[in-house]
Structure 1
């Protein structure tokens, strides 16, 4: 295992500045997820750590040692790519053992290590096959196995599940998290999928336009977003943002400002029964325009004080289009943002 530190890291491609002074510390054995929209710099940051891109300025340290000038093959870092990057003419066993062969391990040691990893990933029955004979999920397991077989203290993942269907992505999320608990390697995982980020990471680093917006546990990021961007990016469905008369009802001094925005997650609304406690306020009537059945929950789309709102309720409540229902919120689950800066005024 090894700790990792990015210090004042910058990187440009031509006139486009991709990384703008990144500072980030990752503990030994931690599973950190880099998440953000396309083009935010997360894959570039990962590739600078792997040695596939060179920084313009700043330093990267692994285990306390600066590795800026260390060649990629000498960094003792494994990487799993989005497109698998398997050799088509090699069998699964040969693909998994190729890196070990380059390291000079004996045939018996390679065979033993590949066997152990293939058993762990439950792909031992595929060792004699070639990539074209495998499904997408099987290829991804092989790519993962090739990285794990090297037994490096650091393993990097660059959107490895984006080519898989929803069911396989769900399975592989669990497998990768389970492997991390078993191997205890330091892992950094890049994704634009906030579901992957919140279900897999010990901590999440949210990036936007080459800058880190917030770092924290999935719970911290979800319940205490630093700004409106994070509040809208993390969470599915995203947070509702309300202005005007709704905000004026809040018992907070900052809510009296015209540039304040109320943020409420869809599940934080409650159907009012006419009574409120000290931590609740009535918001008014909600007119349902569309209902989506999500299985255990129901997503209601509609209008509240002439603003579009989405709320989540139990599907057994069986609300329907055209219905009007009174809403209230729990103030402990509400957020107040500055419209100009986007900053959360309640953290």
Structure 2
């Protein structure tokens, strides 16, 4: 296992600065997810750790030692790529054992290690097949197995599930998490999918425009977003954002200072029933327009003070189109963002 430190890491391509003085520490054995929109620098940060990109400034430490100037093969790091990157002329066993062969391991040692990992990934029956004979999910398991066969202390994942369908992605998320629990390697996983980030990571680092906006556990990122960007990017369904007179009525001192935006997730809003709890507040009249059936729940779409708002209610809730109801908020789950800076004033 290995600790990792990024210290003031910067990287540019021409005049475009991709990484802006990144500082980040990853604990030994941790599963950290780098998440953010396309072009935010997450894959570039991963590639600097792997040695596939050279830093313009700063340093990277692993196990307390600088590795920024080491060749990729000398960094004790394995990487799983988005496009699998399997050798088409080799069978599964040869693909998985290729890195060990380059390390001059004996044939018996390579066979033993490949068989162990194949059993772990449940692909032992595929060892003699070529990549073209495999499904997408099977190819991804082989790519994962090739990385794990090297027995490195650090494993990197660069959007490895993006080419799979939704069902396979769900399966592979669970398998990768299970492997992490069994192997205890330090793992860093890059994705643009906030669902993958929140379901897989011990911690999440959210990037935007080459900078880290927030680092925390999935619960911290979801329930305590530092700014408007984090609040809007993390969470499905997305957070509601409400401005104007509704915000001024809130019983928070900060709501009366400057221009603000109320951020509230759909599950923190309720249809009023005439009873106001100790941490609840009535926002006003909500006009229901339509609903989406989500199985055990339904998503109501409507307007509050002329602004679109979504709320989650039980599937048994009934209404008529354009019906008006009272909308109330759980104040303990509401956020107040400064409209100018975007910062969360309630943290």
Partner SS, residue 21 of structure 1: strand
Identify the residue that residue 288 of structure 1 maps to in structure 2: 288
1:233-281 residue CA offsets vs partner (Å, 9 max, x unmatched): 0001111111111111211111113411110001100111112122111
Identify the residue that residue 187 of structure 2 maps to in structure 1: 187
Q: What is the alpha-carbon distance in structure 2 between the residues aligned to residue 75 and residue 270 of structure 1?
A: 53
Aligned residues: 347
Identify the residue that residue 148 of structure 2 maps to in structure 1: 148
CA contact (8 A) 1:80 1:160 kept: yes
Q: What is the alpha-carbon distance in structure 1 between the residues aligned to residue 329 and residue 336 of structure 2?
A: 13
Alignment of 1:42-191 (within 5 A): 42-191=42-191
Report the RMSD for the aligned CA atoms in angstroms. Answer: 0.9
Identify the residue that residue 345 of structure 1 maps to in structure 2: 345
Identify the residue that residue 18 of structure 2 maps to in structure 1: 18
* Closer, same or farther: CA 320–126 of 1 in aligned 2, 3 Å: farther
Q: What is the alpha-carbon distance in structure 2 between the residues aligned to residue 77 and residue 141 of structure 1?
A: 18
Query: Which moves more between the two structures, 277-286 or 63-72?
Result: 277-286
Partner SS, residue 317 of structure 1: coil
Q: CA deviation at 1:316?
A: 2.1
Q: What is the alpha-carbon distance in structure 2 between the residues aligned to residue 322 and residue 292 of structure 1?
A: 15
Give me the TM-score of the superposition, normalised by structure 1.
0.99
Identify the residue that residue 219 of structure 1 maps to in structure 2: 219
Please, which runs of 5 or more residues in structure 2 have no aligned partner?
A: none
Partner SS, residue 82 of structure 2: coil
Identify the residue that residue 274 of structure 2 maps to in structure 1: 274
Q: CA deviation at 1:325?
A: 2.2
CA contact (8 A) 1:226 1:344 kept: yes
CA contact (8 A) 1:291 1:321 kept: no
1:123-154 residue CA offsets vs partner (Å, 9 max, x unmatched): 00000100000000000000000000001000
Please, which runs of 5 or more residues in structure 1 have no aligned partner?
A: none
Q: What is the alpha-carbon distance in structure 2 between the residues aligned to residue 226 and residue 332 of structure 1?
A: 16
CA contact (8 A) 1:291 1:320 kept: no
Runs of 4+ with deviation above 2 angstroms: 318-325
